[in-house]
Amino acid sequence: MAASNSDPALDSLFLPLSSHALRWPEGSVLFLRAREGAAMRQFPVAQLVCEQSYKPFADELERGGLQVIADASASGARYPLVLVLPPRQREEARALFARALSLCAPGGVIVASITNNEGAKSGEADLKQLAGLGGSLAKNHCRVFWSRPFDGAHDAALLAQWSKLDAPRPILDGRFTSRPGVFAWDRIDPASALLVEHLPMDLAGKGADLGAGYGYLSAEILSHSDKVVSLDLYEAEARALDLAKRNLVAFEGKATLGYRWHDVTTGLPEQYDFIVSNPPFHTQSRADRPDVGRRFIAVAAESLKPGGRLFLVANRHLPYEAVLNASFGQVRVAGEGDGFKVIEAIKAMPSARSGSTRSGKSPR
């Protein structure tokens, strides 16, 4: 999310500080689930230590000159101010509040901001239950609220309980390990299941899984396609990619596996014989973003060898036909169900006479 874009939760987060309801401290300030934006530029951003596991946001913060770290808990540091942009998933958000409390220095303040449609009232109630509430403001269809957890007795038992809420755990009778907050974290996404139903058995060579999540598609490919020699998993969310590494341990001797914390929309560094993808189609605020899926398709076309195949699943209504027809030699709908469509697209081979590529069919 670019700093020039509207980000009401981020803008609201800094209101208690810009209005002097709270004081900007000396020393380092921790920002959990940090995002880049103009609102933070009112303050000395050199003090900010930003934790962000989502690659596009982490890259944008680094381009803005901010310090980005993978795990604020690793150093043992405690901070006089902890800023938090909690996620939508409630267990994950509660675990994040518990982490904020554990990382807050004595006498410090935790400040959080959530949009109303992402659970602002629930988030405010949760922080109040855990550590007490020092104040709150409502603006920009958001609530920003804060706590001075060590001014009074925080709930130590609740802290211990909530700290474990987003811990990795077995799902689907132990077949996979997952955790709250990851896409379709406790189930097999029906779109991905439909894609697996229509994957051919003859996948071979070097492949890539774009938007790999906790590794379901890759596990299915490696279970059923003996001629796959390597498979690279591209995933923007580090929390999901760490799970995929766990879930594919059993296949490490079968193929060469690569785990790429990467923003697919920036392009891929290698060429592939086949690519599979269940691309994201909305932002974290649930707004439809078909442009992201279109970019995944364009990047897949750029990254396939001539004759290489893309297998894509998408909501039936999403407008991907134009980019598919422009990018591939052959395109067909391989299957449909439950509001989704599976598309197979084959990259055109160069023409022997002119060096151009051969065109193909449109999806039905």
One domain for residues 19 and 84 = yes
Q: Which pLDDT does position 280 carry in this prediction? A: 87
CA angle 160, 164, 169 (to 5 degrees): 155
Of the residues 128, 162, 196, the one at which a domain ends = 162
- The verdict on residue 362 lying in a domain is no
One domain for residues 211 and 281 = yes
Give the residue carrying structure tokens 């299915």. Answer: 220
Q: Looking at 248-361, list the stretches that DSSP marks H as alpha helix, in order from N- to C-terminal side.
A: 290-303, 321-327
Residue 258 belongs to domain with CATH number:
3.40.50.150
* Range of the structural domain that residue 218 is part of: 169-346
Cβ-in-10-Å burial (0-12, 13-18, 19+) of 94 comes to: buried
Average pLDDT of adjacent 10-residue blocks, the chain of 364 residues: 68 96 96 96 96 97 96 95 96 98 95 96 97 95 94 84 97 98 96 97 97 98 97 98 98 96 97 96 60 95 98 91 94 95 95 53 49
Phi-psi region of 363 (alpha: psi -120 to 50; beta: other; left: phi over 0): beta
Q: Which pLDDT does position 350 carry in this prediction? A: 83
Q: Which pLDDT does position 364 carry in this prediction? A: 46
- The verdict on residue 121 lying in a domain is yes
- The verdict on residue 354 lying in a domain is no
Q: Which pLDDT does position 285 carry in this prediction? A: 45
The count of structural domains within the chain is 2
Furthest CA-CA distance within the chain = 79
One domain for residues 334 and 202 = yes
- pTM, two decimals, is 0.92
- The verdict on residue 353 lying in a domain is no
